[in-house]
Amino acid sequence: MSSVKSFIAILLVICLQIISSQANFISKVPGPWIVTDVAGKYKNPGDRWKLTILSPSKITVNVTIARRGSFNVQVLNPSFKLYRGVNKITVKLPKTGFFSLPNPEYYFVISVNLARVDYSGTFTIGRPRFGITIYEPKAGDILKIGEKLKARWFGSYYPPGYPRANFTLVRALLEPAIISPPPAAPPVAFNFLPGYNLTFKSGFLKFRLPSTIPRNTLYKFGFLVTSTNITNYVIQIYSAGTFLIC
């Protein structure tokens, strides 16, 4: 009997340690954080998607879908209550209209009082036959100052039927997920330029995270592409899921 009691006591200690560890981790998260890896995934109009959102506090958010290069948004859940810790929500993609058209630059947004607090990696609806998938870093990853960011990707930013010469990869970018407007301090961000410190065809990039990055900050890695004389694709933006740098 004493051995059983000892075993139960050990289990209780382990459980308390796990709970304490989870509480300490959640306290480091600066705000609601989409940790579901959607970057580069393919979906069809009308599909459902289960999202996991971490939150350091109780708060009500709006969940919307948006598309790069457009100011259009569509509300998927207008008033979803987040609780401290892990939250689950299922959203249904629009079956018709603008957000059902084939494109690789869709993303989810969570906002509070119209202010964006996080957004997902870019994903694809339909089969547009182009687009960049950034599969590392993933949503929910945790990186430490002094470690190397190891970004990996594949794909193309040339839509079928358009001249490749009309498209320019401007840069890759590492920046905070949420950038506060002035008079807040400028964000600590880093540009990676083709022909200098970025080779797109290689499909990978390594970058040591410097101490100038604020700890416990949510960050994004992505690509910016521009085009000339092509109205539908003036700007393309692809992003990885949000990750934490601590």
Q: What is the domain-level CATH number for residue 106? A: 2.60.40.1930
pTM of the model: 0.88
Q: Is 157 a domain residue?
A: yes
Q: Which of 3-12, 91-100, 109-118 has the lowest mean pLDDT?
A: 3-12
For residue 83, the Cα-to-chain-centroid distance in whole angstroms is 20
Whether 197 has a pLDDT exceeding 70, the answer reads yes
Instruction: Return d(Cα 238, Cα 157) in angstroms, integer.
Output: 9
pLDDT for res 87 = 96
pLDDT digit string (tens) for 116-147? 999 999 999 999 999 999 999 999 999 999 99
Q: Is 117 a domain residue?
A: yes
- Provide the domain limits for residue 78: 28-245
Whether 22 has a pLDDT exceeding 80, the answer reads no
pLDDT digit string (tens) for 198-211? 999 999 999 999 99
Q: Is 85 a domain residue?
A: yes
Closest Cα to residue 242, out of 143, 148, 104? Answer: 143
